[in-house]
With several copies, the nearest count.
Chain A
Amino acid sequence: MEHELMLTGIGGQSVQLAAQILARACVLDDRQVTYLGTYGGTMRGGNTDATLIVSDRPVSAPPMVSELAGALAMHHQFFEPLREKLRDDAVVVINESLFEGEAAPGGQRVFAIPATQVATELGSALAASMVLVAAYACITELARLDSLVAGMREAIPSYRRQHLESNEKALRMGFENAPAGAASVWSAGGAR
């Protein structure tokens, strides 16, 4: 089983952080993982993507994928390139609070999570990506909540220590309010 997913958002590091947390969580759950973050253009404030491949065998594919088994979108801007790569059976998790328009025209399974709203209510709009990634992990059963929290603690750089608490809360909120296993990638139904 090799699960390729991408995350996308506008600027900032939060999408990359979310991707890294998911990657670390998968490693903690003993999977093989390849993760690559990319930033659009030489400029700041442009789009930012992350590609993740999670597998139970050594990963052979490069972290530049042509087809996606899953996608996470913080915002509709810059989602287009991801949409084009979605497989028919892909899992798509979007940030309902900001995302406008159609996420998946091909009949893919779409889950809309009010991530920014949830995060704002928790007092930290920046943690929206935590909510979303936790929801994704929960829906797809890609990683456990404990691993996500542990992964987050590994991933936060020293100069951002003040965010540990709020991030953990956001991860928990995201995970606990999502439809667990609704599109598991490991189960017969979700896997390919």
Chain B
Amino acid sequence: MTGIETRGTVRIDIERCKGCELCIPACPPNVLRMSSTRNEIGVLFPELLPGCTGCSACALVCPDFCFDVYRYETPLHHEATA
């Protein structure tokens, strides 16, 4: 198989996100980055890139409880770029 292995994923409630960026460095495989557009209250929010491991770190450090974390039964494989 080609591409990046993605063992897990997250659901992000971007409307609740306050843009604190705590989740970004918390992600071990570094697959979160801040968006370039803003949400309803005018802040940037995280976006997910391929390679999530479903480790939950983001959920544990998000003060606004934006992340549901899932682990795939079978890992997916993504291309790194869009």
Contact = CB atoms under 8 A, between A and B. Distances in A.
A interface, by DSSP: helix, strand, loop or mixed?
A: loop
Contacts of A125: 42
The interface residues of chain B, by DSSP majority, are classed as loop
Chain B residues touching A, range: under 10
Interface in A41-77: 45, 75, 77
Interface in A1-32: 10
Interface residues of A, number: 7
A75 B18 contact: no
A98 interface: yes
A140 interface: no
Given A75-B41, A98-B42, A116-B42, 6 more contacts: A10-B41, A10-B42, A45-B18, A75-B42, A77-B41, A125-B42
Interface of B: 18, 41-42
Interface of A: 10, 45, 75, 77, 98, 116, 125
